[in-house]
Amino acid sequence: MSTAIGFEIFLDASYDQSVIMVTEALKSEGFGVLTSIDVRSTLTEKLGEDFRPYVIIGACNPPLAYKALIIDPIVGLMLPCNVTVEAVPEGGSIVRIANPEVMMRAGSLEDNREMSEVAKEARVGLERVAGKLQSK
């Protein structure tokens, strides 16, 4: 379930249903959806290429994002937290959730104690989201 960059969950549900389940699980942990990129439509529109149903969701917990931006506005380069949902050709969907602590390490921001506490809080919340989805 855990990968180098975050969490990965297989859902035995259709793509559309999975997107709804993910959105609801995020909401239940205080993460709203700020952006949603329909990768399939984008690639069709821009390149005329076919791709499986795939969405990149930009999830954000506003109080945590606000805390992080106050500490160091460079953190905007790592916001929002990405969550992807991808249709599996054989059935079901793969959900991936980026781990904010890994992203903070990328930005060398983990040495800041306050920032690393915010990242930890976000990671714990998203881990709960992953757990809720896993148990479905």
Binding site for a second copy (CB under 8 A): 3-6, 8, 32, 34-35, 37, 39, 42-43, 46-47, 49, 51, 54, 56, 58, 60, 62-63, 65-66, 69, 73-74, 76-80, 82, 84, 86, 94, 96-98, 102-103, 105-109
**Minimum separation from the CB atom of position 74 to a second copy (A):** 6
- Spatial distance between the Cα atoms of 78 and 48, rounded to a whole number of angstroms: 30
Nearest to 100 by CA among 84, 115, 113: 115
**Minimum separation from the CB atom of position 128 to a second copy (A):** 18
- Which of 21, 99 has the CB closer to a second copy? 99
- Spatial distance between the Cα atoms of 25 and 129, rounded to a whole number of angstroms: 6
- Spatial distance between the Cα atoms of 77 and 110, rounded to a whole number of angstroms: 14
